[in-house]
Amino acid sequence: MRTLLAIGLLIVALQSHAQRSDFNNIDFRTADKYALECKDEGLDNLPFLVHQLTSNLDTDVERFRAIYRWVCGNIANDYGLYLRNMHKRKRFKDDSLKLKEWNDHFRKISFKKLLRHQRTICTGYAYLIKELASLANIDCEIIDGFARTSMIDVATLDTPNHAWNAVKLNGKWYLCDPTWASGLPNTTTNQFEFKYNDGFFLTKPELFAVNHYPVDTKWFLMDDDIPSFNTFLEAPIFYNKAYENLTAHNAPINMHNTVKKYEKVLFNCQLLNKVDEKDISLLIDNGSNAKKVHPQSTTIINQNLIVEYAFETSGFYDVHLYIGSDLITTYTFEVEKG
Amino acid sequence: MKTFVTLTTKKAFSTLGLFMILMIASVYFNQGYAQTTETAQNERIIKGIISDGNGPLESVNIVLKGTKTGTATNSKGEFTFPKPLKTGDVLLISYLGYETIETSIKGDTTFLRLNLSDDLIEFSGALNSDKPYKSKRSN
């Protein structure tokens, strides 16, 4: 009986998707400390940097963690570089020769910028993580794909617009997004600001899939229930803070919703941390003004958040879900008279 | 008769197999012996030149694998490794944007002439934003 139970547990363990909780026994503060100690190292000697970051750590996951934290804390997003690339790619999208020429040129200037100024865009982050990991004998891949944010309309894109990593630890592949983990552009100045987000490290594949769609769908790292591209396009907007606050998002599954006046709308997420019900709010924007509401029927049981809300006037609304001051998700509601 | 032939063939094969194993083993051990005696005396300074398709490359890193010992190429792509190396030592040759090369020092190596090739990756990137989404409205 015991053996049967053990086998059963083993099967469950093998089936659960690769995620950070597999390493709950490891305290990443040691690895993070090495990343911080190497703050002044540059990219002019990669083997030396990897040696400094990893040689005192015992496990692959900690060695990878030190590399990942170093990249996230020392490489800045380059908004100018991003704009230049988007502009040229759009211009040359029907001229494959010119596009190749631009890509070759852009690769050279991007590497120079990364080496000398430690600034880059997504592929540069993913490339650097892969290079450093391989110097530490850790299998790592660059994953190209599509990403959705509040400012990008993916439906209008012709080519993949984002890159992230998959890393093999203890024989299992895991996902991470060093670009989005490193920080965000300031919402008014557009200047990049370092602000590490731990939610993108070995993220649960189902959560990652809400706004990351890999070109090669095997990199969803999900055995079944792989979302279609349409499901991906129709999903709600997920903000960075969602990754620090949620372990799953269940409802509404679509960004755009149509409901009747007084019809109950259900919002349902699984929370990562303990949250007080009074910290949950919806910001409801009708286009001319926005009001913050704390829906009365908000319950949190075993960190499962359920919010019920009914619109009392017809119209078209953007609805933002907040936990404290963290913006989590956005949906739209067309409310019909009924 | 048939059985006899099969047996003989089998026997011949097994004798041959044993002989082969002995041969390989003797060559292997011989080499091992030669190597240890040679490396004891044969630590030497390694020099080299690193280039890409367009010519010599400056600032390429050359590091002894698993250590912090290393150097970088000068403006002519040349380097002199700061520590004497022995046969079997592995050097990592890397430069951001090029594929890293691992090369082991052979019995007769004193000068390395190596070519790095570009990492042919296509750059793209989506910045994330925590600007709240705003629907476009016609009115």
Q: What is the pLDDT of residues B119-135, one digit of tens each?
A: 888 887 777 888 899 99
Distances (CA, A) of B113 to A152, A160, B64, B116, B129: 48, 38, 17, 10, 47
Q: Tell me, what's the pLDDT at A40? A: 87
The radius of gyration of chain B's CA atoms, rounded to the nearest angstrom, is 28
Considering CB atoms only, which of B59, B70, B128 is closest to A149? B128
Q: In this predicted complex, what is the ipTM?
A: 0.82
The number of beta carbons lying within 10 Å of the beta carbon of residue B32 is 10
Weakly modelled stretches of chain B, pLDDT under 50: 1-7, 27, 29-39
- Asked whether the beta carbons of residue A124 and residue B94 sit closer than 8 angstroms, the reply is no
Q: Tell me, what's the pLDDT at B7? A: 46
Question: Tokens 């520590």 belong to which residue?
Answer: B83
Sequence-separated (6 or more) residues with CB below 8 Å from residue A42? A49, A118
Q: Which residues of A206-241 are buried (b: 16+ CB within 10 A; e: fewer)?
A: bbbbbbbbbeeeebbbbeeeebeeeebbebbbbbbb
> DSSP states of A56-85 as a string?
T--SHHHHHHHHHHHHHHH-EE-HHHHHHH
Q: Tell me, what's the pLDDT at A174? A: 98
Q: Which residues of A248-266 are buried (b: 16+ CB within 10 A; e: fewer)?
A: ebeebeebebebeeeeebe
In single-letter form, the type of residue at position A50 comes to V
Beta bridge partners of A246: A271
Strands A201-203 and A237-238: unpaired
Q: Is A72 exposed, middle or buried (0-12, 13-18, 19+ CB in 10 A)?
A: buried
Q: Which of A165, A211, A183, A148 is nearest to A77 (CA)?
A: A183
Question: Tokens 């540059």 belong to which residue?
Answer: A42
Q: Which of A269, A284, A293 is nearest to A320 (CA)?
A: A284
Q: Tell me, what's the pLDDT at B22? A: 56
Shortest distance, CA A171 to any CA of chain B (angstroms): 23
Q: Tell me, what's the pLDDT at B118? A: 86
CB of B125 within 8 Å of a chain A CB? The answer is yes
Considering CB atoms only, which of B125, B129, B139 is closest to A150? B129
Strands A237-238 and A256-260: unpaired
Nearest CA in chain A to B133: A150
What gap in Å lies between CA A336 and CA A314, rounded to an integer?
A: 5
What gap in Å lies between CA A219 and CA A143, rounded to an integer?
A: 7
Cα separation of the two ends of chain B: 102
- Residue B85 tokens, joined: 């190396």
Question: Are A307 and A280 within 8 A, CB to CB?
Answer: yes
Question: Are A289 and A315 within 8 A, CB to CB?
Answer: no
Question: Tokens 């009392």 belong to which residue?
Answer: A312
Residues of chain B neighbouring A46 (CB-CB closer than 8 A): 61, 94, 96, 100
- Asked whether the beta carbons of residue B61 and residue A111 sit closer than 8 angstroms, the reply is no
Q: Of all residues in chain A, what percent carry a pLDDT higher than 70?
A: 95
Q: Tell me, what's the pLDDT at A13? A: 47
CB of B54 within 8 Å of a chain A CB? The answer is no
Question: Tokens 């890393």 belong to which residue?
Answer: A167
List per-residue pLDDT tens for chain A, 338 residues long.
455 555 444 444 444 678 888 999 999 999 999 999 999 899 988 989 999 999 999 999 999 999 999 999 999 998 888 888 888 888 898 899 999 999 889 998 999 999 999 999 989 999 999 999 999 999 999 999 999 999 888 888 778 889 999 999 999 999 999 999 999 988 888 889 999 999 999 999 999 999 999 999 999 999 888 999 999 999 999 999 999 999 999 999 999 999 999 999 999 999 999 999 999 999 999 999 999 999 989 999 999 999 999 999 999 999 999 999 999 999 999 999 97
- Asked whether the beta carbons of residue A187 and residue B67 sit closer than 8 angstroms, the reply is no
Q: Which of A212, A238, A241, A243 is nearest to A227 (CA)?
A: A212
Considering CB atoms only, which of B70, B126, B134 is closest to A122? B126
**Cβ-based contacts under 8 A for chains A and B:** 143
In single-letter form, the type of residue at position B20 comes to M
Shortest distance, CA B100 to any CA of chain A (angstroms): 8
- Asked whether the beta carbons of residue A285 and residue B125 sit closer than 8 angstroms, the reply is no
Q: Tell me, what's the pLDDT at B15? A: 61
Q: What is the pLDDT of residues A304-322, one digit of tens each?
A: 999 999 999 999 999 999 9
Shortest distance, CA B9 to any CA of chain A (angstroms): 45
What gap in Å lies between CA A99 and CA A102, rounded to an integer?
A: 5
Helix axes A29-37, A46-54, angle to 10 degrees: 140
- Residue B26 tokens, joined: 């003797």
CB of B129 within 8 Å of a chain A CB? The answer is yes
Q: Is A278 exposed, middle or buried (0-12, 13-18, 19+ CB in 10 A)?
A: exposed
- Asked whether the beta carbons of residue A106 and residue B139 sit closer than 8 angstroms, the reply is no
Best B61, B67, B128, B133 member to test A by mutation, with max A CBs in 10 Å, is B128
- Asked whether the beta carbons of residue B122 and residue A107 sit closer than 8 angstroms, the reply is yes
Question: Tokens 């005192």 belong to which residue?
Answer: A56
- Asked whether the beta carbons of residue B130 and residue A240 sit closer than 8 angstroms, the reply is yes
Nearest CA in chain B to A118: B96
Question: Quick one: which H or E segment has residue B21?
Answer: helix B2-41
What is the edge-to-edge ordering of all strands in the sheet holding A140-147?
A: A201-203, A172-176, A162-169, A140-147, A212-214
